[in-house]
Amino acid sequence: MSSTFVDTCLSGHALLGDVDDWIDQWHDSDTSLSLDSFLGFTADEVSIFAERPEALRFIVAARRQKVPVAKVLATRDNYALAARAGDSEKAAAVLEWLRKTGRL
């Protein structure tokens, strides 16, 4: 099987912004894979991404660190994800949403 979107991001051969192209490729393909398998998401990750696409950077960072995405969101400053204030605010918003929806 070829690499997934997440694998390709982790290897540095795709950017986060390429996810829409990957989704289009899935729609245009005759693959028997589900979209989450095609992208390389776990069930939890695809659920988060479907409802909060801005969480993609945290999903990929969690995979890089080999920890659950909730841990990356909760400790985002330790992972140097907040290069800009907006990133930190997005992480806080997704973390709060995970708490409100009972995922944490």
| pLDDT tens-digit series, residues 45-96 | 988 899 889 889 999 999 999 998 888 877 755 444 444 445 667 767 777 7
Output 11-17 pairs: Cβ under 8 A, ≥24 positions apart.
Answer: 16/56, 16/57, 16/60
- Count of the separate structural domains present in the chain: 1
pLDDT digits (tens, 9 = 90+) for 12-39: 999 999 999 999 999 999 999 999 999 9
pLDDT of residue 73: 77
> What integer is the mean pLDDT of 2-16?
92
**Domain ranges, residue 90:** 5-100
pTM, two decimal places: 0.72
CB 77 within 8 A of CB 102: no
